[in-house]
Structure 1
Amino acid sequence: MDLVRCMQAFVTTVQAGSMSAASVALGQSPAMVGQHIAALEERLGTRLLNRTTRRQSLTDFGSSYFEQCRDILDRIALAEEAAELQRTRIQGRLRITAPTTFGAEALMPALSGYRTAAPDVELDIILTDRNVDLVEEGFDVAFRIGTMSDNSMIARPLTPYRMVICAAPGYLADKGTPSHPSELDGHEAIAFTPSARSPWRFTRGEEDVRVTPTRMITVNSGQAVRVAACAGLGIIMQPEILLKRDIEAGFLARLFPDWGLGERPMWLLYYRDRRMTPRLRSFISFAVATFGRDGELVAQ
């Protein structure tokens, strides 16, 4: 007999209290319910129910097997529900959080693609450099930079934050273009406040150079750092994804392209919830396709 049907007969019998009550709930004859349970017991090689003419009770093994069967049937129901939801219209409210600069410079320009695919989804986007608690603060999904430590989340790896060092052509014409990282010490630098005192590290083959600029403007906004550099105020080290358009447009010139400047991992996070909505599923697909590395799933 079909294993799932046998499990359904067993679980319903336990929940209903008798085979006759289960037969009503399942729309089957009591004899058929009994055959399903007997087939299950034969398959397992042990009894699940102690039965008398007046009552029934679970055996010790039957009690633990009942819980496992109920969980399996719940998962099957959830899978079927997800399939049904997938066929329905993608709509509703989606709360998203992302780091401020990434959100403004990379996420927002890319969202037109998602809006085309899911025009009925209402997007509520909060840009903050604080690591929010998705569950407590009611977010569906988050972009996050740095090392992952929260094992309650599912994390999808995105393209890492690869760093580049740039300056405006006008600044370089006035101050000179450094040919080696060690020459940065005499230049003006602009840094994002949280990382302002961290040394700039450069690697090339066996060379490992660390420079901490002494003449520095610090700003608590990544966007302001970029704007200041375009205005010719100094040299910056920022993620490539945030400076790509300015480099392509000629507003910034890249320095030391043959040196490695390190990278920071970036993730798309969402809660471990078996009832994933179509809107969340569609946004995850969009984000991984747009910013993803290789689509690999990393369960933290």
Structure 2
Amino acid sequence: MLDRLTSMAVFVQATQTGSFAAAADKLGMSPQMVAKHIAALEQHLATRLLNRTTRKQSLTEFGRAYLERCQTVLAEVDAADALAQAVQVKPQGRLRISAPVTFGRHGLIPAVTQFLRDFPEVELELTLSDRLVDPVEEGYEAIVRIGPIDENLPMVARPLKPYRLVACASPAYLSEHGTPLEPADLARHECVLFAPWPTDLNHRWRFQQGGREVEATVGSRLSINDWGAIHSAARDGFGIVLGSEHAVAEDLAAGRLIRVLPDFEGPSRPMHLLYAADRRMTPKLRCFVDRMIGTFGDG
């Protein structure tokens, strides 16, 4: 059984070119197949569309009216196909993303807002949380994760620039307690810790200098589960903190905080963008991944 839309397209082409042979050449089929499509339409409609002689063909009165309707129908089909292609190509719809709190607040937000300016038909729901989010179970299309990645995780893990930490304190604290010159000096200072980090990471701050690792054991009377509060404690002059380079950049530039141990590169943690390995890469997700790699990619 011949497809009726195809038969309509053949009929339109036959009337526009003036002959079955010319239509066949245009459509890449035989003149006999063109004739079959026209005959199938006429049989379905139970009326003749074309008056045919050995020398020429012309539309019947019904054929002229039917031609106009066929052209309208085919134009609508083309428009529907174009809409489907636009949906497949154009980023649009809601995108659910999760990221750690401090990186999200101080590093990610400018990239997110610019992404939304560039793609006005995308809506982005950003959840900031320091817990280990399960993107599949919780319905996130992508997450940013800081720390080592489980190799058995059924996710695509795209590496981002390491999450770099900077040791810093307020001018008032350093004026009162002195400035550490070596990582080992931190043992004699007040250090404010980030409670969610593992104990080993919290109490052993690892620095790099000249390709070698220098570890400092630190103690603390104050640990907090929120970077904003740690930041406040540092600016209040209580102690030395390890802060994300994104989060402390403005205070360092303004002199409200001072980097300590500037000759040592601060600790860093791996950071990745994760998304489901079996998830169909929609245009909105593809564009978001590309933007993240372009902005924060490790390379």
TM-score by length of 1: 0.66
User: Per-residue CA shift, 1:184-213, capped at 9, x if unaligned?
Assistant: 222111110133543112343486543332
Q: In the alignment, is residue 231 of structure 1 matched against residue 200 of structure 2?
A: no
Q: List runs of 5+ in structure 1 lacking aligned partners.
A: 1-20, 30-80, 295-300
Residue pair 1:161, 1:241 contacting (<8 A) in 2 also: no
C-alpha deviation, 1:226, in angstroms: 1.7
SS in 1 for 2:96: strand
Q: Aligned partners of 2:259 and 2:265: how far apart in 1?
A: 13
Q: 2:156 aligns with which of 150, 154, 170?
A: 154
User: Per-residue CA shift, 1:6-48, capped at 9, x if unaligned?
Assistant: xxxxxxxxxxxxxxx8x979x899xxxxxxxxxxxxxxxxxxx
Sequence identity, in percent?
Answer: 43
Map 1:23-62 → 2, pairs under 5 A = none
Aligned to 2:297: 292
The total of aligned residue pairs comes to: 224
SS in 2 for 1:256: coil
Greater Rg over alpha carbons, structure: 2
Map 1:70-149 → 2, pairs under 5 A = 85-88=87-90, 90-149=91-150
User: Per-residue CA shift, 1:138-170, capped at 9, x if unaligned?
Assistant: 111100011112442111111101221111122
Aligned to 1:259: 264
C-alpha deviation, 1:86, in angstroms: 4.9
SS in 2 for 1:147: coil
Q: 1:125/1:176 Cα in 2 relative to 1: closer, same or farther (>3 Å)?
A: same
Q: Aligned partners of 1:189 and 1:220: how far apart in 2?
A: 14
Residue pair 1:203, 1:259 contacting (<8 A) in 2 also: yes
Stretch moving more, 140-149 or 167-176 = 167-176
The two structures, once aligned, show a CA RMSD in angstroms of: 3.0
Q: In the alignment, is residue 216 of structure 1 matched against residue 217 of structure 2?
A: no
Counterpart AA for 2:167:
I
Counterpart AA for 1:288:
I
Q: 1:206/1:100 Cα in 2 relative to 1: closer, same or farther (>3 Å)?
A: closer
TM-score by length of 2: 0.66
User: Per-residue CA shift, 1:242-294, capped at 9, x if unaligned?
Assistant: 22222122221111122133321101111124632111112112212222222
Aligned to 2:168: 166
